[in-house]
Structures are given as C-alpha cells and as structure tokens.
C-alpha cells in the first residue's frame, strides 16, 4: 500500500495519515496471556512485547524484573 492517505495494516501496526498505532487486537492477546511458569515462557513473552517497545514508555525499566529472571542461577518464583 503506497502512502495514499488510506489506512492499512503492516505487521501488527495500523498505518494511516495520522501516524503509526498499535493494533489493539494484537495487544489484547498479550494482556490476556496466563502467568509465566518457566524461563522459556518469560523469554517468549519478552520477545512478543519487545515488538511493541517503541509504544511503551520506559520499556526497559518495566521489563527489567522479567529480564532479571533470565540470568543464570536465578531462582524462578
């Protein structure tokens, strides 16, 4: 879709003449995920939300507690 002033979708983002916005349907899926039970699930979650990091204020500060769980020999609670 060339930028002709119409609205379109591109990899989970809504692009229009007003700018780029997040597709709410995609973020609702992330919000309603069950709690993480292992390191692998935390890694997967951080990868999914990292895709939207430009829309999340202070993403690195918010994600730091989860990222700390990925360190070696850290107990997972």
What local confidence, expressed as pLDDT, does residue 23 receive? 77
Q: Which residues sit opposite 16 in a β-bridge?
A: 19
Model pTM score: 0.66
CA 8/CA 58 separation, integer angstroms: 28
Helix (H) or strand (E) holding 14: strand 13-16
Q: What is the pLDDT of residues 11-43, one digit of tens each?
A: 667 887 888 887 777 778 788 888 888 999 999
What local confidence, expressed as pLDDT, does residue 11 receive? 62
What local confidence, expressed as pLDDT, does residue 27 receive? 77
Q: What is the pLDDT of residues 48-70, one digit of tens each?
A: 888 888 888 899 999 999 999 99
């Amino acid at each position: 879709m060339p930028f002709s002033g119409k609205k379109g979708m591109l990899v989970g983002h809504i692009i229009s003449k007003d700018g780029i916005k997040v597709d709410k349907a995609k973020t609702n899926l992330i919000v309603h995920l069950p709690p993480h039970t292992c390191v692998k699930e935390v890694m997967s979650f951080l990868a999914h939300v990292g895709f939207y990091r430009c829309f999340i204020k202070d993403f690195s500060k918010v994600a730091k507690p989860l990222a700390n769980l990925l360190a070696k020999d850290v107990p997972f609670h």
